[in-house]
Structure 1
Amino acid sequence: MRYLFATGGTAGHINPALAVASYIRDTYPDSKILFVGTADHMESRLVPNAGFDFKTIEINGFKRSFSPKAVAANVKTVFKLLKSEQASKNIIKEFNPDVVIGFGGYVSGPVLEEAAKMHIPCCIHEQNAFPGITNKQLAKKVDKVMLTVEDAAKHLQPKNGVEITGLPVRGELLNKSKIEARIELGIADDTPLVLSFGGSLGAAPLNDAMFDILKENAESAEAYHIHSVGTNGKDYLKKFEAEGFKKKSDTVLIKGKSEVRLYIDNMDTCMAAADLVVGRAGASSLSEIEAMGKASVLIPSPYVAENHQFHNAMALVNRNAARILEEKDLTSDSLKALIQSLLSDKDELHKIENNARNMAVLDSRERIADIIVSLAEKN
Structure 2
Amino acid sequence: MVEYDHRSKHYDEVGIELDFPNAIRVGQTELRTPGAIGTSKQVDGGVVVALDPESEPPPRTDFELPDPSRSVLRVDPPGEVVWFVEGISHPDVDNFHHATVNLRNSYGPVDDDALVTESNVGGYCYHVNPDTGAIVDSWRSDDWNGLTIASIAGLVECDSGAVRLPWDVPDTAGRYAEFDTGIVVRLDPNTAGSARPDFEPTDPARNLVKITRDCRIEWVVESSPGLPDGDYHERHWRHGDRLITRTTDGGFTEVDPATGSVLATWGAEEFVCGDVCHALDGSVESFAKVDGVTRVRTDRRLYWLDDEGRKLGTQAFDTSIRDVRTFADRTVVNTESGSIYGIDSDCSLAWEFDDGNDWLLGPGEDGFYLFFDGGGRRPYSKMKFEFDPRRGELVRSVTAPDWLVDEVL
TM-score bracket, shorter-length normalisation: under 0.3
Higher relative contact order (CA 8 A, sep 6+): 1
**TM-score in terms of structure 2 length:** 0.20
Structure having the higher strand fraction is 2
Q: Which has the higher helix share?
A: 1
